[in-house]
């Protein structure tokens, strides 16, 4: 390899590095890794659901509607192909997030129903599944937060100068991110109701004091 060619390659590498090429690549890999962890924790939750539903059904078989909703919500989640390309499609990511949110809601209702069955709450298997589910929900929150931060770093790297020039040439665009699941609810001021004050009865008129006898 000639000295001139080596010099050209070195110059090209320096140019790409100076325009943020390497940093964008690093940030993109960070997004992929964070997304994989999000999927890992969501899958962990999905794997717990069949045993949870079966256990609850053993004590509360007549709670058919609640059990059906959980099963259907899990099926909807499983029907979404959560490929790495999904993070580049805002509509697909929104659908994925909506399905996961519906599953979270269905699970919450299931656990509320379980509170009405003391024998179910005392079941060792149910308590273990409930503890695992709570731990998984915490892991999901952590994984989502890390993903949000990774996407934020990537999006900054492709939108700021001079990296944005490299991103434009390579066709790299900002990625979609998780959003608050109920933006309308949090944008509405909470209603505070202190109740209607009770009517205050007038103080009774004191009885006249009789005059002393003479």
210 occurs within a structural domain = no
Q: What is the CA radius of gyration of the chain?
A: 30
Q: Is the dihedral of CA 93, 98, 101, 103 positive or negative?
A: negative
Question: How far is the C-alpha of 46 from the C-alpha of 96, rounded, in Å?
Answer: 14
List the CATH number of the domain containing 165: 1.20.1440.20
Tell me what pLDDT residue 209 has: 47
What does the buried/exposed string (b/e) look like for 39-67 if buried means 16 or more CB atoms within 10 Å of the residue's CB? bebbeebbebbeebbebbeebbeebeebb
Question: How far is the C-alpha of 53 from the C-alpha of 145, rounded, in Å?
Answer: 28
- Write down the pTM of the prediction: 0.75
Residue for token pair 């005059």: 211
Structurally, how many domains does the chain consist of?
1
Tell me the pLDDT tens digit for each residue of 178-213.
976 544 433 344 343 333 344 444 444 444 545 545
33 occurs within a structural domain = yes
Band (pLDDT 50/70/90 cuts) for residue 19 is: confident
Tell me what pLDDT residue 11 has: 37
Q: Which domain holds residue 84?
A: 17-181
Share of the chain above pLDDT 70, in %: 75
Band (pLDDT 50/70/90 cuts) for residue 20 is: confident
87 occurs within a structural domain = yes
172 occurs within a structural domain = yes
- Mean pLDDT computed over every residue of the chain: 82
2 occurs within a structural domain = no
CB neighbour list of residue 34: distance below 8 Å, 6 or more residues apart: 143, 146, 147, 149, 150, 151
Q: Tokens representing 122?
A: 């005392």
Q: Are 24 and 167 in contact (CB under 8 A)?
A: yes
77 occurs within a structural domain = yes
191 occurs within a structural domain = no
194 occurs within a structural domain = no
Stretch among 64-68, 107-111, 129-133, 191-195 having the lowest mean pLDDT? 191-195
Q: Are 179 and 97 in contact (CB under 8 A)?
A: yes
| Residue (of 128, 143, 176) closest to 40 by Cα position | 143
In the predicted model, what is the mean pLDDT of residues 74-95? 88
In the predicted model, what is the mean pLDDT of residues 91-95? 92
Stretch among 43-47, 75-79, 86-90 having the lowest mean pLDDT? 86-90
């Amino acid at each position: 390899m000639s000295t001139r060619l080596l010099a050209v390659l070195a110059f090209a590498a320096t140019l790409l590095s100076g325009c943020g090429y390497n940093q964008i690549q690093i940030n993109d890999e960070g997004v992929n890794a964070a997304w994989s962890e999000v999927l890992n924790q969501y899958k962990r939750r999905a794997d717990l659901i069949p045993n949870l539903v079966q256990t609850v059904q053993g004590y509360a078989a007549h709670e058919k509607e609640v059990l059906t909703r959980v099963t259907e919500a899990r099926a909807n989640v499983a029907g979404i192909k959560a490929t790495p390309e999904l993070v580049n499609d805002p509509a697909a990511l929104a659908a994925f997030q909506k399905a996961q949110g519906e599953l979270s809601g269905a699970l919450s209702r299931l656990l509320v129903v379980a509170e009405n069955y003391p024998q179910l709450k005392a079941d060792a298997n149910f308590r273990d599944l409930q503890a695992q589910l709570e731990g998984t929900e915490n892991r999901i929150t952590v994984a989502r937060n890390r993903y949000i931060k990774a996407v934020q770093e990537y999006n900054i790297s492709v939108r700021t100068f001079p990296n944005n020039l490299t991103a434009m040439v390579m066709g790299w665009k900002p990625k979609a991110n998780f959003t608050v699941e109920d933006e309308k609810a949090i944008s509405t001021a909470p209603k505070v109701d202190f109740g209607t004050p009770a009517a205050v009865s007038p103080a009774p008129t004191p009885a006249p004091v009789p005059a002393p006898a003479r």
